[in-house]
């Protein structure tokens, strides 16, 4: 909208952003692995972008009523584990797009929990294995030290 110095409306400027520009931004996958996805949802709960996982066009056709979408549409920004529109647990980061006039859209960035925490689970498993090996070696070492100590005090082996 264009106003004069007295705040009187002079006119409205309308600009159309081609979807290809939005799609180029949303299709970025850097740091999102195999299951990461960025998408936009409107206040009517319909996707305003394409789904990475569905072959059909989802723009204004796929209705999403997930907890992340609901929370973002209430104006909240958060990162939490929720079920996505495929009913799969995901690590979801979401926020309302506040600087858009006359539309209420939210941005969601999600990655499957399995993939998001894979390296942590591998590290945890490795630490358990290493801890078990070190504990076993330490136990065996202590057993032989105690046994050797008993032999010094009782060289004939009598109790």
pLDDT at 70 over 60: yes
Q: Average pLDDT for residues 27-46, to the nearest whole number?
A: 87
Q: What is the pLDDT of residues 12-25, one digit of tens each?
A: 776 666 666 677 77
Determine which helix (DSSP H) or strand (DSSP E) holds 109, and give its type and residue range.
strand 105-112
Task: Give the span between the Cα atoms of 66 and 81, in whole angstroms.
Answer: 11
Q: Average pLDDT for residues 29-43, to the nearest whole number?
A: 87
Predicted pLDDT at 17? 62
By DSSP bridging, strand 78-83 and strand 37-42 are unpaired
Q: Average pLDDT for residues 79-93, to the nearest whole number?
A: 95
pLDDT at 151 over 80: no
Q: What is the pLDDT of residues 93-117, one digit of tens each?
A: 999 998 777 788 999 999 999 998 8
Predicted pLDDT at 157? 56
Quick one: pLDDT band at residue 69, thresholds 50, 70, 90? Answer: very high
Predicted pLDDT at 147? 84
Q: Please give the full DSSP string across 14-63, using - where no structure is assigned.
A: -----HHHHHHHHT--TT-TTT-EEEEEETTSBBSS--SS-SS--TTT-B
Give ∠ CA 68-47-108 in degrees, rounded to 5.
Answer: 35
Tell me the backbone φ, ψ of residue 31, rounded to 5 degrees.
80, 0
The radius of gyration of the chain from alpha carbons, rounded to an integer in Å, stands at: 29
Q: Is the pTM of this model over 0.75?
A: no
Give ∠ CA 130-136-140 in degrees, rounded to 5.
Answer: 150
User: Whole-number mean pLDDT of the chain?
Assistant: 86
Predicted pLDDT at 99? 77
**Number of helical (H) and strand (E) elements in the chain, helices listed first:** 4, 6
Predicted pLDDT at 49? 87
């Amino acid at each position: 909208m264009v106003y004069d110095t007295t705040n009187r409306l002079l006119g409205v400027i309308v600009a159309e952003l081609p979807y290809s520009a939005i799609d180029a931004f949303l299709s970025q996958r850097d740091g999102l692995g195999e299951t990461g996805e960025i998408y936009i949802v409107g206040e009517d709960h319909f996707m305003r972008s394409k789904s990475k996982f569905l072959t059909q066009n989802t723009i204004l056709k796929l209705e999403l009523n997930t907890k992340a979408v609901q929370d973002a549409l209430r104006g909240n920004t958060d990162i939490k584990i929720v079920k996505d529109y495929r009913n799969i647990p995901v690590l979801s980061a979401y926020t309302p797009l506040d600087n858009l006039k006359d539309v209420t859209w939210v941005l969601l960035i999600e990655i499957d929990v399995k993939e998001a925490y894979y390296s942590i689970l591998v590290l945890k498993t490795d630490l358990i294995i290493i801890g078990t090996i070190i504990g076993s070696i330490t136990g065996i070492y202590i057993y032989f030290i105690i046994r050797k100590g008993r032999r010094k005090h009782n060289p004939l082996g009598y109790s």
